[in-house]
Structure 1
Amino acid sequence: MKNDQNISVEALRNFPTFSELTRNQLEQIISICKVHTYKKNETIFYDGDNYKGFYILLNGSIKIYKLSYDGKELILHLIKPSESFADVPLFEGGGYPVNAQAIADSVLVFVPQKEFIQLIKNNSTLCLNMLVGFAKKMRLLTQKVEDLSTKGVSNRFTKFLLDEIKKSGTDKLPEPFIRLNISKKNIASYIGTIKDTLSRLLKKLQNEKIIRISGKSIFILDLSKLKELAK
């Protein structure tokens, strides 16, 4: 990990929780933050480590995961730029409840717990924004648990593709696409399967002319069919 103290108001404003704050309020937050850079595969924290604060991703990609008793990895979230993680334990203390690892070279803003709590005590807007963020995370996690327990691999993967297309902003193009910046192994873990099963599914979707793959990009040839498979 490498530390760098520079962060701009504009970069912090891209984070949804902070988007409605004034410049003065953002500068107060910046004054307590630190910017850390992590290399690919570097661990940010382990499950059970003492909680020190939460993170906002500026660049790169982070996986949030748990390990089962037999060592199997279950990816709970794939964090994209302008998203936060490890903010749910902010008010309860204790340890980090999950593991976090960079799956690409990444730049993070670290927000320390004690100093941040002091700030939000005097800022109701920031406090409400944090609560809204927590509610969204709980809803997404509940949906993920439901998908893993009731839906098949094909359904979960096609839903993953649709979500990523929307995030990439290409969903309105004649041929929507996503660029995969993470490995097939990580994607497979995220949707609750193994790499070989995912590879077979990708080949099947290509043969049915629903998608085409070029390098690390997946292009959607039949969006209607993809949406049907995701139901």
Structure 2
Amino acid sequence: MKETANSDYSQDLLFEISQLPVFAQLHASHTEGMIGFSKLIEYLPNDAIFLEGEHDTCFYVLISGSVKITKDGVLLSNLKRGGDVFGEMILTDYSERSASAYAEKKATCLCVDMSYLKTLTLNERDIFLSVLYRNFVEVLTHRLKKTTNELVIARGEIARLKPNNNHPNIAKVIDLMKMKVV
């Protein structure tokens, strides 16, 4: 793992970070302030980014490479697109991490420490969080839709495997839902 201090960020890098979808709607001063509390971290394959059960105040943005999210050792998701956000759920209730994140291949991530909020006035904090949370809602909505489709498929498979399952359309429903999973 290799960290890059925020003071070492080039102006080009700062600009590119500010254009990521999760930050694009933030006021420039908030983006700059938040980046001041952030660091770029390069992870080698299989390096832990964070572990289930940990407590912290950071969320992450994938810059390059790929990251896998697991819970109890079960793969939940693979993130491969620059700009993908993960670990953001920690900011909704400040509880422990509900999953683990590992670099799948060499990965570079922006670790955003939300202790930045302590530097803002109450009004600035409210504005900042409303924009950031709106961006997080889009991420979580997409994930919830995907999870719902996967749940329907799993329940259908369970129903199909149960003895005495006489519902004639269950196979058709499962096949249609499989086509919708992103």
TM-score, length of structure 1 as denominator length: 0.58
- Which deviations, in whole Å up to 9, do the C-alpha atoms of 1:79-103 show, x marking residues without a partner? 5211211112214222111110111
2:46–2:105: 8 Å Cα contact kept in structure 1? yes
Letter in 2 for 1:131: Y
CA distance in 2, matches of 1:30, 1:41: 26
Q: 1:2 and 2:9 equivalent?
A: no
Structure 1 residue 45 displacement after superposition: 1.1
CA distance in 2, matches of 1:112, 1:145: 28
1:147 maps to: 149
1:114 maps to: 115
CA distance in 2, matches of 1:17, 1:125: 15
Instruction: Tell me how many residue pairs correspond in the alignment.
Output: 156
Structure 1 residue 26 displacement after superposition: 2.2
Structure 1 residue 130 displacement after superposition: 1.8
CA distance in 1, matches of 2:151, 2:25: 37
Structure 1 residue 156 displacement after superposition: 3.9
| Counterparts of residues 161-176 of structure 1 (less than 5 Å) | none
CA distance in 1, matches of 2:118, 2:89: 13
1:66–1:99: 8 Å Cα contact kept in structure 2? yes
Structure 1 spans left out of the alignment, 5+ residues:
161-231
1:12 maps to: 17
Q: Percent identity?
A: 21
Structure 1 residue 154 displacement after superposition: 8.7
Distance 1:125 1:83, change over 3 A: farther
Q: 1:134 and 2:175 equivalent?
A: no
> Match of 1:25, SS?
helix
Q: 1:51 and 2:56 equivalent?
A: yes
Range with greater deviation from structure 2 (136-145 or 38-47): 136-145
Alignment partner for residue 29 of structure 1, among 30, 34, 38? 34
TM-score, length of structure 2 as denominator length: 0.72
CA distance in 2, matches of 1:24, 1:44: 28
CA distance in 2, matches of 1:129, 1:120: 16
Structure 2 spans left out of the alignment, 5+ residues:
154-173
> Match of 2:22, SS?
helix
- Which deviations, in whole Å up to 9, do the C-alpha atoms of 1:173-197 show, x marking residues without a partner? xxxxxxxxxxxxxxxxxxxxxxxxx
